[in-house]
Structure 1
Amino acid sequence: MEFDVDAELSKLTRDELERLAKSMMTSGVALSFHGRRSAMQIAKRVRPRQTRREPRLNVGTPEAQARNMLIEGENLQAMVTLYKYRGQVDLIVTDPPYNTGQYFRYNDRWDNDPNDPDLGTIVSNEDGSKHTKWIKAMMPRLQIMKAMLKPSGVVAICIDDNELFHLGMMMDEVFGENNRVAIINWQKAYSPKGGNSISKTTDYVLVYAKDKDLSRMQLLPIDRSGTKNIDGDDGGDWIPTDPTARQHRGATAYAIQSPFTGHLHYPNGEYVFDGQLPEPRSHWVNFTKEEVIKYLAEWGVKYVERDLGDGRGNALVIADSDVALEGYRPDRDMAVQRAAQLATERRQKGNWPKLFFRDDKSRRPGAGRPRLKTPIDAVRAGMIPTTFWDEDLYEFPIEIGSVTWPHAQSGHSDMARKELDAIVGKGHAFDTVKPLRLLKKIIQIWCPPEGLVLDPYAGSGSTGHAVLELNHDLGSSRRFILIEQGAPENGDKYARTLTWQRLKNAVTGERPTGKPATALGGGFEYRLLTKTIDAKTVLTMQRDELIDVVLTSHWETHKRSAPSLTRVDGVDYQYLVGKDQNGEGYFLIWDNGGPVGSLNRDTYKQVVSEAKKAGLEPPFHVYARYELFQSSNVRFWKIPDKILADLGLTDNDQFNNSDDNE
């Protein structure tokens, strides 16, 4: 459909026109698309919904369940329902549909009623408005994501090149270009596919802060198993770092001849004589050629520059060596034999030079690739001057910018599918899974050890799995909220099949082969979005329904933190329904066989009795219709007012007077 500028402008209010004009004058660039005005307003018109606990799908102890959530339902409606978590999320990491003509669905009725539960049809590649539909679906979700973040929060969104540029413009508009933290290029495949076009081996992660000045990056933990002092270095522990970067620069892609073997080492591989040169895709970094000559001389061997005719810049070779690209035999080169003897003697003395040669796969000393010794104290200070992340680097650079993450660090798509196969079995037909390495690295950097992670496009549950692994391996206590609708149109609400199964098996260590794996521990609560909520709905709920809503929605303005409320189930309790991490009890006054009751002297006595039995001290949080008795031990919460307020609704809200309770 052709975009009608005049028609769209006529719909704008004065305030909207002023905002548009200011945006154009300040940034000079704005994202314009058909239906922009309605897309910008959709998030404000979505109604919160009731969430129903599914006890048979809860995993872990009650306390563990209260820490994490898997929500089955439409993600925009779910995020609106999670009003108490607004401003409480440390990191949003998610993988939305890539609009490739396979998975993305769009319902045209969302323009008029974003509460319509129908997913709509798959948007095909032939659909001329496919980009507009994708933008209209993503824009309100990005707005809610921003609202969910803490002031210091960060959002990281995985994407491919189909919508990379559109997503970037939306992120610039919603979060601000000045809050862009990184454009990460990660290696999703490690071998190119054949064909007549450039093989796509990388995807992207766009990282934005809610406020870049307040956001903080966490140092990745140093893997102490990688720290070394095998040479007795006077400076203490060090780690081996790769002195290469994935970018070809002819002058610094030269060969370095090994003093141990006489072989030529290029930045991205060893040259096998009479073989094929390694591909020109990397270069040496972190030292000058003069510094390399100095480091090599410390092995007792003199080096000179020589043009080998490889087009890579003058090589550094052993003086008097007759090394050549073809017909060369290091074992017959007397200069190499002398160099090997001197280098071996120097190696045995310990306290090696800064540039050393690691052992090869056969454990032959010094027969492997060149590496740099980096003092552990320098790593801890974040002083590695490189933007290339390799498997030997246990930290990350202070300046991230646009960087590449190789598959050794971030995993790849094939690895991700194998991870999913291993934990739930084959045949799941879910191909868009992300590797745990990638997600764990993002979480470690931008979510503090006790932080909260949200994934509104949970898919197979990789984000939750990554959080559980980090908590188990590093002793952190991060929490997660996952939202997934699945594919109900195909009869597969895989939120309760694939996603649930993966998280359950991660927690318990169960595997489809029957051979148990490491149980990561933890747990999660499973919730299902149902009907929309208004005052009438709340007052006509059954007791169990109302308990679910209370425990899901409760938060307090003076604390402004979303407590993890543990449900208390027991036939001996008439009013006690939950408790928080501070040991404070939550009570729902319910008349036996009737509606919500009132707090009076008799019901208060029962509250005190149940609190004593459960070992709970005041204050007692009491939900009831009316407060006919007051006590300093009670924090009274009026139904439905408190619930509606906790969901972001008020008595004057248009939704509370609605008769629509689909």
Structure 2
Amino acid sequence: MNPSVDLEKLERDDLLNIVRDFLNSNGIALQFSGKRMIQQIQKKVRPRVTRVVRELCVGPEDQQARNLLIEGENLQAMVTLYKYRGQVDLIVTDPPYNTGQFFRYNDRWDEDPNDPDLGDIVSLEDGSRHTKWMKAMMPRLNMMKAMLKPNGVIAVCIDDNELFHLGMMMDEVFGEQNRIAIINWQKSYAPKNDSKHVSSATEYVLVYARDKEQAKTGLLSRDEAMNAKYKNPDQDPEGPWKTNGDPTVATPAAKDRYAIQSPFTGALHYPGARAWSNPKKKMKEWLEAWGSSYVERDLGDGRPKALVLKNAPVPRVPSDQNLDNNPVVEATEQLEDTVLAAARQAAEAIRDHEVWPMLYFSSNGQGRPAIKRYLKHVKQGKIPLTYWADEEYEDPEALGVQSWDHEESGHSQIGINELDTILGKGHQFQTVKPLKLMKKIIQLWCPPNGLVLDPYAGSGTTAHAVLELNYETGSDRRFILIEQGSPEQGDAYARSLTHERVRRAITGQRPSSNGSLEATALPLPGGFEFRQLLNRIDAAAVLSMKKDELVDVVITSHWESERRNSSNLIRLDAEGYRYLIGKNDMGEGYFLIWEEHGAVGQLDMETYAVIHEEARRAGLHPPFHVYARYEIFQSRSVRFYKIPDKILSHLGLNEHSDPFHEEEEGV
């Protein structure tokens, strides 16, 4: 269709919106068929009911409450996770690439994003495959942005099929000014002869912040090779130190370009084209720590007064010697001087039997001056740059376009091998990111007690990476995974792949040669709750639930705005309690008034008496959080939540509106 004809059909307000979008993007904007409609459609997504699948939950109950694996469509799941909006530290995800293998698109989403059908696989022959991919990604990127904290970061893995389209969408959603890095990681360490032109050995990770000014990039763990450069030859109580620390600074100040005399050789050492990096008073103190007295003396070399041994002969400085390029003047004629001999003897005694001063002389005293750089004063990590030129990383560097080879991030075959080891071969999943890559991203952009969300969980590498990092570093990160599961359509990834991989990571089970599962690997502490995304939620749906379903919704939906950092509620299924269903980390009880005939009851004096007794037996204290249909009895010890109103409110909606989508654009 002719674009000019389309424009003529648009209303005035629609045309103005298009022009405003173009101007706001500085004249550069990504346009594709259906974009304007998609931006409106995403606002129509409604929360759904989630149901805990008890037999698929893993780990102790307190660990289950920390982590989630949600089976369902990710856009609908993220809307359902309303209480986590603005609470996620890092989103790291690997969406399906447009390769004609795994990407599905439901055309009915253009009209109703709540349609539960998965859609059909988009083939490489589909001329609209790029448009469909962008129409699927744009609303999800907007929702991911809403899930992030103000200082949160998103890292999206991608290959070259949609790299440029994704980059422009990320620029539009997050802002070009919030781009942190374009990471080029080596997915293959051996070239393949599968191309007539250039063999692709790399893929990409686009990293953006919700607000780059607030976001932080962490450090990677120092490796053994980096620490091996630090020694302790003199048994210094301050610990290992670097044995070639430069005592000079690159920006010379004239007053700090003088000579110092070695107590070992009597030679004069200049700082070259640089300058000494420490004050002259401190340099004199360090030199005298070698057992001899030093004085200042004018050597007629055109430099400030030198620091030389008291009463010792000083080498003559040749007038034609370029002290910037040749900064040493040897003391060949004065070596037998008694003062120099005494200085050498004192310095050698300290070198051989005592802790060396901060300023020392390399090559067992025969070389140039150097300064100790203690490992404990160095940042305990390395910044993620292409080249590791400055091992101490004392000056922070900005991330830009960079490359990570497979030694830094692993490669695709390693990811597949890891999955083979855990699940056995035959899983048919060929787009597995290596653990090393995901761990590196998480370590850089999620704090030790942060929350990681993966809306395209796939094989569960993200959760596995979080569990391993928690075990290896003592961190306390949590995860939320979302993976589409539809066993009736042959897509059971959430249960058969994602769940099983994370479960075996926790239990340490691996398939043996005969196919049985044996606990042969190190179990990783942790657990997760498995939730299934069900139908759209409204008042009628809440009131028609069975008790177990309603308890699940109560536990999931409850969120105290005044305690945004509190942990999730822990469900209590102990026998002998009629109304008690859970507790929080403050020792407060949660109660659901459920009548024997199978309906939500009311809070009155009789039910309050039961609540009070159950709280006493469970060791819980007020306030008592009570969910019921009506409140007939009131008490200062009770916080009452009316069903269905409060549940709908906690989920961010009511019968007439959806507050999630009523906030101003661009938030």
Q: Determine if the TM-score, normalized by the shorter chain, exceeds 0.5.
A: yes
In 2, the alpha carbon distance for the partners of 1:559 and 1:81 equals 20
Which aligned pairs between 1:416-427 and structure 2 lie closer than 5 A?
Answer: 416-427=415-426
Counterpart of 1:56 in structure 2 is 55
The answer to whether the 8 A contact 2:42-2:139 is kept is yes
In 2, the alpha carbon distance for the partners of 1:147 and 1:385 equals 27
Q: Given the alignment of the two structures, is residue 519 of structure 1 paired with residue 523 of structure 2, yes or no?
A: yes
In 2, the alpha carbon distance for the partners of 1:440 and 1:502 equals 16
Indicate how the Cα distance of structure 1 residues 29 and 635 shifts in structure 2: closer, same or farther if over 3 A, else same. same
Indicate how the Cα distance of structure 1 residues 19 and 441 shifts in structure 2: closer, same or farther if over 3 A, else same. same
1:20 CA drift (Å): 4.2
> Which residue identity lines up with residue 536 of structure 1 in the other structure?
A
Indicate how the Cα distance of structure 1 residues 389 and 116 shifts in structure 2: closer, same or farther if over 3 A, else same. farther
1:577 CA drift (Å): 0.8
Counterpart of 2:66 in structure 1 is 67
Counterpart of 2:401 in structure 1 is 402
1:376 CA drift (Å): 3.2
Query: Of residues 536, 541, 546 in structure 1, which corresponds to 2:540?
Result: 536
Counterpart of 1:210 in structure 2 is 210
The answer to whether the 8 A contact 1:73-1:483 is kept is yes
SS of the aligned residue for 2:70 comes to: strand
1:379 CA drift (Å): 4.5
Say which is worse superposed, 578-587 or 60-69, in terms of deviation. 578-587
1:585 CA drift (Å): 1.4
In 1, the alpha carbon distance for the partners of 2:645 and 2:457 equals 32
Counterpart of 1:253 in structure 2 is none
Which aligned pairs between 1:496-575 and structure 2 lie closer than 5 A?
Answer: 496-513=495-512, 514=518, 516-561=520-565, 563-575=567-579
RMSD: 3.3
The answer to whether the 8 A contact 1:219-1:395 is kept is no
- Tell me which structure has the larger Cα radius of gyration: 2
Indicate how the Cα distance of structure 1 residues 392 and 123 shifts in structure 2: closer, same or farther if over 3 A, else same. farther
1:26 CA drift (Å): 5.0
Indicate how the Cα distance of structure 1 residues 81 and 389 shifts in structure 2: closer, same or farther if over 3 A, else same. farther
Counterpart of 1:659 in structure 2 is none
SS of the aligned residue for 1:34 comes to: coil
1:127 CA drift (Å): 1.0
The answer to whether the 8 A contact 1:88-1:562 is kept is no
In 2, the alpha carbon distance for the partners of 1:572 and 1:173 equals 56
1:638 CA drift (Å): 1.0
Counterpart of 1:248 in structure 2 is none
Say which is worse superposed, 54-63 or 18-27, in terms of deviation. 18-27
Counterpart of 1:220 in structure 2 is 220
The answer to whether the 8 A contact 1:389-1:406 is kept is no
Query: Of residues 607, 613, 618 in structure 1, which corresponds to 2:617?
Result: 613
1:555-610 deviations in Å (ceiling 9; x for gaps): 12222346311110022111111112222211111111231111111111111111
SS of the aligned residue for 2:621 comes to: coil
1:403 CA drift (Å): 1.1
Counterpart of 1:637 in structure 2 is 641
The answer to whether the 8 A contact 1:589-1:622 is kept is yes
Which aligned pairs between 1:589-604 and structure 2 lie closer than 5 A?
Answer: 589-604=593-608
Gap runs ≥5 in structure 1: 242-289, 292-349, 357-372, 656-662
1:229-274 deviations in Å (ceiling 9; x for gaps): 4462879536899xxxxxxxxxxxxxxxxxxxxxxxxxxxxxxxxx
1:651 CA drift (Å): 3.1
Query: What's the TM-score, normalizing by structure 2?
Result: 0.74
In 1, the alpha carbon distance for the partners of 2:133 and 2:395 equals 33
In 2, the alpha carbon distance for the partners of 1:156 and 1:383 equals 19
The percent identity for this pair of structures is: 60
Indicate how the Cα distance of structure 1 residues 16 and 495 shifts in structure 2: closer, same or farther if over 3 A, else same. farther
> Which residue identity lines up with residue 196 of structure 1 in the other structure?
K
Q: Given the alignment of the two structures, is residue 192 of structure 1 paired with residue 195 of structure 2, yes or no?
A: no
1:396 CA drift (Å): 11
In 2, the alpha carbon distance for the partners of 1:127 and 1:26 equals 30
The answer to whether the 8 A contact 1:386-1:397 is kept is no
Counterpart of 2:585 in structure 1 is 581
In 2, the alpha carbon distance for the partners of 1:384 and 1:585 equals 45
Gap runs ≥5 in structure 2: 245-272, 275-354, 363-371, 513-517, 660-667
1:424 CA drift (Å): 1.4
Indicate how the Cα distance of structure 1 residues 14 and 556 shifts in structure 2: closer, same or farther if over 3 A, else same. farther
The answer to whether the 8 A contact 1:390-1:408 is kept is no
> Which residue identity lines up with residue 126 of structure 1 in the other structure?
E
1:183 CA drift (Å): 0.6
In 2, the alpha carbon distance for the partners of 1:106 and 1:8 equals 27
> Which residue identity lines up with residue 619 of structure 1 in the other structure?
P
SS of the aligned residue for 1:214 comes to: coil
Counterpart of 2:258 in structure 1 is none
Indicate how the Cα distance of structure 1 residues 382 and 222 shifts in structure 2: closer, same or farther if over 3 A, else same. closer
1:551 CA drift (Å): 0.7
Indicate how the Cα distance of structure 1 residues 19 and 216 shifts in structure 2: closer, same or farther if over 3 A, else same. farther
Query: Of residues 237, 241, 260 in structure 1, which corresponds to 2:240?
Result: 237
1:508 CA drift (Å): 1.1
The answer to whether the 8 A contact 1:382-1:398 is kept is no
Counterpart of 2:328 in structure 1 is none
The answer to whether the 8 A contact 2:231-2:243 is kept is no
1:30 CA drift (Å): 1.0
In 1, the alpha carbon distance for the partners of 2:22 and 2:239 equals 55
> Which residue identity lines up with residue 624 of structure 1 in the other structure?
A
1:516 CA drift (Å): 1.3
Q: Given the alignment of the two structures, is residue 136 of structure 1 paired with residue 141 of structure 2, yes or no?
A: no
> Which residue identity lines up with residue 517 of structure 1 in the other structure?
A
In 1, the alpha carbon distance for the partners of 2:18 and 2:156 equals 27
The answer to whether the 8 A contact 1:223-1:394 is kept is no
In 1, the alpha carbon distance for the partners of 2:201 and 2:392 equals 22
Indicate how the Cα distance of structure 1 residues 477 and 119 shifts in structure 2: closer, same or farther if over 3 A, else same. same
1:394 CA drift (Å): 9.6
SS of the aligned residue for 2:630 comes to: coil
Which aligned pairs between 1:258-277 and structure 2 lie closer than 5 A?
Answer: none
Indicate how the Cα distance of structure 1 residues 494 and 392 shifts in structure 2: closer, same or farther if over 3 A, else same. farther
In 1, the alpha carbon distance for the partners of 2:489 and 2:14 equals 44
SS of the aligned residue for 1:463 comes to: helix
SS of the aligned residue for 2:479 comes to: strand
Counterpart of 2:105 in structure 1 is 106
Indicate how the Cα distance of structure 1 residues 391 and 430 shifts in structure 2: closer, same or farther if over 3 A, else same. farther
Aligned length: 536
Say which is worse superposed, 217-226 or 108-117, in terms of deviation. 217-226
1:395 CA drift (Å): 10
1:227 CA drift (Å): 2.1
> Which residue identity lines up with residue 432 of structure 2 in the other structure?
V
1:43 CA drift (Å): 1.9
1:439 CA drift (Å): 0.5
> Which residue identity lines up with residue 51 of structure 1 in the other structure?
T
In 2, the alpha carbon distance for the partners of 1:97 and 1:460 equals 12
In 2, the alpha carbon distance for the partners of 1:3 and 1:108 equals 23
Indicate how the Cα distance of structure 1 residues 408 and 399 shifts in structure 2: closer, same or farther if over 3 A, else same. same
